């Protein structure tokens, strides 16, 4: 394993100053956070953690299989706090802080004398705590509250929620483990694993890390914990509604897993936790498992948008190459989860396959999940629509809005990796980073018009001249990159795993200029992805494109893009907050030409038609209509 450990900087260490991302961060602060707070309040989520409201409404189990999203309402509170924490870093806001402080106060008063903290099992199903880890999300909710506590502490210095969660974690550590009398359990929905690692980074307490490792190590072992706890509830484990524990990646121990299976968000969170533990303990067996799983996902189960999990039935994976477009589930949270996982892989292995995937998932599958103004959301992110897939204000399971919100608000964490004597630049985004390299305080100022233009300028400003390595990702999509340091060309011939390393003594005023020319690419799918046979997708730099009905005079399903059609990019500052659109001369079947017969012996006549495509992340903002990523190609 690469001995370097590229840790994510804290949100406070990176200020984003970027034409593309700053407006998204503003939208998160001005819309996603307050809107999500209000909608949680209206739904009763905030009252549900309020100990002063003694009589809670009885919440029906309204989900599939007798499950309900209300069981994990606390996780929404955790994600709200986390998102709020990140936006507070850039701009302290007494009003927002007062609201979050009030929630923290409620959580503190709801906490049981032994440290336990969960509103469902305090008010709805008292006495049933820790009886169904497979389905009940108790540790999942704890994980999100932990992440919220860490973010809020880092942003404000207020440690009340952090202390509450440390107490809860101490309680959890008495209940679960391999010691006498302890339950050898773990959560059906992973999350607490990666949250405990984040907690460890703040507290420095080894016991937090060790609990995370325990949950990773225990998963999928025999005798199977989920079987035993089902029997203890007098339930036949064989009647599990998903049939197999693959649903929660608990079918076999994690080090034996080779295939990306089950619920997509759970899978991404688990693999993120595995990568974390691999990094913390230098655990090669976990890294190897991550690599096998990574290859499986990349080779057989990922949408071109970085979306993942095609099926609504299990909110997850099905079989190899099963990537339908119109029915794609591709939950926003799953693409966000892939960003988390890729970023953690980069921590231990500086390889652009992780950076490239992180970028694709971020700019497409994840970013598409929130409207440009930050107030409307998608849960599913199909790659084709007939026009009925609309952005919504609220969902009975509101997991996605705060997930994409927390990602955007903490973007700086994903842009860089900081090691003791090296810095990695994973994402190109206008930003100002402060970090310590080789013991010296360093400021890195990055400027770019990415994703519209691949020219990147990086100014390096160490307090005193200092030697360290600067690693820059050369994206796999870029065919002719070039690099200059202080005007001098650097040879990119021997770039290791897609990251160029510039090792030198850096001094104030040093300037790195990276040019990543963006051309429009036609993407062809593996022949076994049956729904994409004979089709092409368009990509420019990190952005995947789609054709929407409102931009095209002819129905998008009837259009064919000839192989020799030239694709013209054009920046339109007035459209969708400013986007590069693509135009091409295409052909369209004459759909209106009605001979009256459904089938015929000759193909329909074709006519020339202009095709216009926009970045996928920006679809669904204008008149509802059809949309397609994969276009018929000649």
Residues 391-450 that bind Zn ion (CB under 5 A): 399-400
Catalytic residue of the set 190, 229, 315, 331: 315
Q: Tell which one of 17, 175, 252, 397 touches ligand FUB (CB under 6 A).
A: 397
Q: Which structure tokens are listed for 301? A: 């189960």
Nearer to ligand FUB, 393 or 396 (CB): 396
Nearer to ligand FUB, 334 or 442 (CB): 334
Residues 292-351 that bind ligand FUB (CB under 6 A): 315, 331, 333
Nearer to Zn ion, 365 or 475 (CB): 365
Q: Which does 229 bind (CB under 5 to 8 A by kind): ligand FUB, Zn ion, none?
A: none
Residue 256 φ then ψ, to 5°: -95, 0
Our finding on whether 406 is near ligand FUB (CB under 6 A) is: no
Chain position whose Cβ is nearest to ligand FUB: 265
Shortest Å distance, C-beta 580 to Zn ion: 29
Our finding on whether 333 is near Zn ion (CB under 5 A) is: yes
The C-alpha atoms of residue 163 and residue 161 are separated, in whole angstroms, by 5
Beta-carbon-side half-sphere exposure of residue 458 (alpha carbons within 13 Å)? 29
Query: In the block, which residue shows the tokens 């036609």?
Result: 522
Span of 226-234, 330-338, 347-355, 571-579 interacting with Zn ion by CB under 5 A: 330-338
DSSP for residue 32: I
Contact between 396 and 68 (Cβ < 8 Å): no
* 610 given a catalytic annotation: no
Residues 152-191 that bind Zn ion (CB under 5 A): none
Contacts of residue 588, defined as CB under 8 A and 6 or more positions apart, other chains included, come to 554, 555, 558, 559, 560, 606, 607, 608, 609
Cis preceding-peptide flag for 137 (omega within 30 of 0): no
Q: Tell which one of 33, 211, 399, 547 touches ligand FUB (CB under 6 A).
A: 399
Q: Which does 189 bind (CB under 5 to 8 A by kind): ligand FUB, Zn ion, none?
A: ligand FUB
Shortest Å distance, C-beta 427 to ligand FUB: 24
Q: Which does 48 bind (CB under 5 to 8 A by kind): Zn ion, ligand FUB, none?
A: none
Nearer to ligand FUB, 141 or 448 (CB): 141
Nearer to ligand FUB, 333 or 586 (CB): 333
Contact between 518 and 454 (Cβ < 8 Å): yes
* End-to-end CA separation in angstroms for the chain: 45
DSSP secondary structure, 487-520, as one string: TEEE--TT-BTTEEEEEEEE-TTEEEEEE----E
Per-residue b/e over 495-524, b at no fewer than 16 CB within 10 Å?
Answer: beebbbebeeebeeebebbbebebebeebe
Shortest Å distance, C-beta 553 to ligand FUB: 38
Q: Under rule CB under 5 A, how many of the chain's residues touch Zn ion?
A: 4
Nearer to Zn ion, 399 or 514 (CB): 399
Shortest Å distance, C-beta 335 to ligand FUB: 12
Q: Can you name the residues that pair with 631 across neighbouring β-strands?
A: 536
Q: Which does 18 bind (CB under 5 to 8 A by kind): Zn ion, ligand FUB, none?
A: none
Nearer to ligand FUB, 368 or 451 (CB): 368
- Using a 10 angstrom Cβ sphere, with 0-12 exposed, 13-18 middle and 19 or more buried, the burial of residue 374 is buried
H helices of 282-399, where? 284-296, 332-348, 352-360
Nearer to ligand FUB, 354 or 379 (CB): 379
The C-alpha atoms of residue 517 and residue 520 are separated, in whole angstroms, by 10
Q: Which does 559 bind (CB under 5 to 8 A by kind): ligand FUB, Zn ion, none?
A: none
Contacts of residue 382, defined as CB under 8 A and 6 or more positions apart, other chains included, come to 325, 326, 327, 328, 330, 389
Q: Residue 257 to residues 122, 188, 249, 469, 473: CA-CA distances in angstroms?
A: 36, 16, 8, 35, 29
The C-alpha atoms of residue 353 and residue 349 are separated, in whole angstroms, by 10
The C-alpha atoms of residue 111 and residue 121 are separated, in whole angstroms, by 11
Residues 159-218 that bind ligand FUB (CB under 6 A): 189
Give the strand pairing for 520-523 and 627-628.
Answer: unpaired
* 190 given a catalytic annotation: no
Our finding on whether 380 is near ligand FUB (CB under 6 A) is: no
Nearer to ligand FUB, 379 or 617 (CB): 379
3-class SS letters over 438-481: CCEEEEEEEEECCCCCCEEEEEEEECCCEEEEEEEECCCCCCCC
Q: Tell which one of 133, 202, 260, 265 touches ligand FUB (CB under 6 A).
A: 265
Catalytic residue of the set 40, 166, 399, 435: 399
Q: Which structure tokens are listed for 7? A: 């840790």
Contact between 121 and 128 (Cβ < 8 Å): yes
Nearer to ligand FUB, 265 or 427 (CB): 265
Q: Under rule CB under 6 A, how many of the chain's residues touch ligand FUB?
A: 8
Q: Which structure tokens are listed for 601? A: 């012996």
Chain position whose Cβ is nearest to Zn ion: 333
Q: Which structure tokens are listed for 101? A: 């402080």
Contacts of residue 604, defined as CB under 8 A and 6 or more positions apart, other chains included, come to 589, 590, 591, 593
Shortest Å distance, C-beta 241 to ligand FUB: 14
Q: Tell which one of 72, 116, 200, 247 touches ligand FUB (CB under 6 A).
A: 72
Contacts of residue 165, defined as CB under 8 A and 6 or more positions apart, other chains included, come to 117, 142, 145, 146, 149, 199
Q: Which structure tokens are listed for 67? A: 């499950």
Q: Can you name the residues that pair with 567 across neighbouring β-strands?
A: 584
- 187: number of Cβ within 10 Å: 27
Contact between 357 and 304 (Cβ < 8 Å): no
Q: Which does 72 bind (CB under 5 to 8 A by kind): ligand FUB, Zn ion, none?
A: ligand FUB
Shortest Å distance, C-beta 399 to Zn ion: 3
Nearer to ligand FUB, 136 or 359 (CB): 136
Residues that bind ligand FUB (CB under 6 A): 72, 189, 265, 315, 331, 333, 397, 399
Residues that bind Zn ion (CB under 5 A): 331, 333, 399-400
Catalytic positions are: 315, 399
């Amino acid at each position: 394993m690469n001995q370097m450990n590229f840790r994510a900087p804290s949100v406070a260490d990176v200020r984003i100053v970027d034409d593309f991302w700053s407006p998204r961060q503003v939208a998160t602060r001005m819309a996603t956070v307050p809107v999500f707070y209000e909608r949680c309040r209206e739904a009763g989520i905030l009252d549900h953690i309020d100990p002063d409201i003694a009589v809670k409404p009885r919440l029906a189990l309204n989900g599939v299989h007798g499950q309900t999203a209300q069981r994990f309402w606390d996780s929404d509170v955790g994600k709200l706090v986390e998102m709020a924490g990140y936006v507070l870093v850039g701009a302290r806001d007494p009003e927002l802080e007062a609201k979050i402080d009030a929630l923290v106060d409620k959580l503190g008063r709801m906490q049981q004398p032994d440290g336990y903290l969960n509103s469902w099992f305090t008010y709805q199903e008292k006495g049933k705590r820790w009886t169904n880890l497979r389905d009940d999300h108790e540790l999942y909710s704890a994980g999100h509250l932990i992440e919220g506590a860490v973010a809020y502490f880092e942003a404000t210095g207020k440690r009340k929620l952090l202390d509450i969660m440390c107490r809860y974690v101490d309680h959890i550590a008495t209940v679960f483990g391999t010691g006498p009398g302890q339950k050898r359990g773990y959560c059906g929905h992973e999350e607490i694993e990666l949250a405990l690692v984040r907690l460890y980074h703040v507290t420095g307490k080894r016991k937090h890390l060790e609990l995370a490792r325990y949950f990773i190590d225990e998963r999928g072992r025999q005798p199977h914990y989920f079987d035993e706890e089902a029997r203890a509830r007098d339930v036949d484990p064989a009647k599990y509604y998903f049939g197999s524990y693959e649903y929660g990646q608990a079918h076999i121990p994690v080090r034996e897993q080779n295939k990306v299976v089950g619920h997509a968000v759970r899978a991404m969170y688990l693999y993120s936790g595995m990568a974390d533990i691999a990094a913390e303990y230098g655990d090669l067996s976990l890294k190897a498992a991550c690599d096998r799983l990574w290859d499986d996902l990349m080779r057989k189960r990922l949408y071109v948008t970085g979306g993942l999990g095609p099926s609504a039935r299990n909110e997850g994976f099905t079989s190899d190459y099963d990537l339908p477009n119109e029915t794609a589930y591709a939950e926003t949270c799953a693409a966000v989860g892939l960003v988390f996982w890729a970023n953690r892989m980069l921590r231990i292995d500086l390889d652009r396959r992780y950076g490239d995937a992180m970028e694709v998932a971020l700019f497409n599958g994840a970013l598409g999940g929130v409207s440009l103004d930050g107030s409307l959301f998608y849960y599913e992110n199909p790659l084709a629509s007939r026009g009925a897939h609309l952005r919504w204000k609220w969902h009975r399971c509101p997991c996605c809005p705060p997930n994409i919100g927390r990602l955007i608000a903490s973007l700086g964490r994903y842009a860089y990796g900081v090691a003791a004597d090296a810095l990695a630049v994973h994402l190109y985004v206008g930003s100002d980073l402060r970090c310590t390299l080789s013991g010296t305080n360093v400021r890195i100022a990055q400027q770019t018009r990415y994703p519209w233009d691949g020219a990147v300028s990086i100014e390096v400003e160490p307090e005193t001249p200092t030697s360290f390595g600067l690693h820059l990702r050369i994206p796999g999509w870029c065919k002719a990159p070039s690099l200059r340091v202080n005007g001098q060309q650097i040879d990119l011939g021997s770039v290791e795993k897609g990251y160029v390393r510039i090792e030198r003594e850096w001094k104030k005023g040093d300037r790195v200029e990276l040019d990543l020319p963006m051309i429009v690419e036609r993407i062809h799918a593996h022949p076994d992805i049956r729904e994409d046979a004979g089709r092409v997708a368009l990509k420019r730099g990190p952005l995947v494109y789609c054709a929407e009905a409102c931009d095209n005079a002819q129905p998008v399903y009837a259009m064919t893009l000839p192989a020799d059609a030239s694709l013209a990019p054009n920046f339109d500052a007035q459209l969708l907050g400013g986007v590069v659109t693509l135009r091409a001369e295409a052909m369209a079947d004459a759909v209106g030409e009605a001979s009256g017969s459904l089938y015929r012996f000759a193909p329909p006549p074709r006519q020339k038609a202009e095709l216009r495509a926009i970045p996928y992340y920006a679809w669904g903002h204008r008149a509802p209509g059809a949309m397609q990523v994969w276009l018929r190609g000649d």
